[in-house]
Amino acid sequence: MTENLRPTRAEATDVANAILDGSDAILLGAETLRGLYPVETISTVGRICAEAEKVFNYDLYYKRAVKYAGDEMSHLESITSTAVRAAIKVKASVILCFTSTGRAARFIAKYKPTTPVISVVIPRLKTNQLRWTFTGAFEARQSLIVRGIFPMLADARHQAESTNATNESVLKVALDHGKASGLIKSHDRVVVCQKLGEAYVVKILELED
């Protein structure tokens, strides 16, 4: 579509096949760099992606991903794949994932859940012996390229492994963010994946009014 308003059959097929192959993102080159119709190109690619997503076999993809992961999964991948399975079984509207590095959310996205993943990035306080800095913004920004992840940066006062009261506080903020974004409604089910102390926890919440 560098010089034409409509894509060729080959171009449209390439975009659709990229989605069916499990790609997270599509990078356009000449079409948006020096093309005559950059806005129309992005709109067209978006429509093709949306149509391809409608015929994507999520159940088969999940089973294949688990099979290829093998019997000896890491502790984190085992928990996150379980969270995806739970979301499928209970028809959850959202998976909430608490993370400091974004790794747990990326593991969830690896299995291509049909539900959106709200990645709640918990900032960490670090020092190089000269100054103190908070991490988290970079990790949240990186997640934007991964399909299905909606990152949000938690308050720096919240720690990844803190008291129950603090965990409930940041959970409420995340649920409110999901409601404001239109991802969560009353009476929806939400799967939560988080680390409490040394243990990873997956729980299912059924929201009230």
**Which H/E stretch holds residue 192?**
strand 189-196
> How many whole angstroms from its chain centre is CA 144?
8
- For residue range 111-133, what is the model confidence (pLDDT) as tens digits? 999 899 999 998 877 777 788 87
- Backbone phi and psi for residue 199, each to the nearest 5 degrees, phi listed first: -110, 140
**Could you tell me the pTM of the whole model?**
0.82
Helices within the chain (DSSP H only):
9-20, 30-33, 38-54, 58-69, 75-90, 103-110, 137-142, 164-180
Residue 156 is predicted with a pLDDT of 65
Q: What is the pLDDT of residue 189?
A: 93
pLDDT tens sequence for the chain (209 residues): 888 889 999 999 999 999 999 899 999 988 888 889 999 999 999 999 999 999 998 888 888 888 888 777 888 889 999 999 999 999 999 999 998 888 999 999 999 998 999 999 988 777 777 888 778 888 889 999 999 999 998 876 655 444 454 567 888 888 988 898 889 988 899 999 988 777 888 999 998 86
Q: What share of the chain is helix, strand, coil (3-state, %, to 5)?
A: 45, 20, 35
Amino acid 160: pLDDT: 46
**What pLDDT is stored for residue 159 in this prediction?**
52
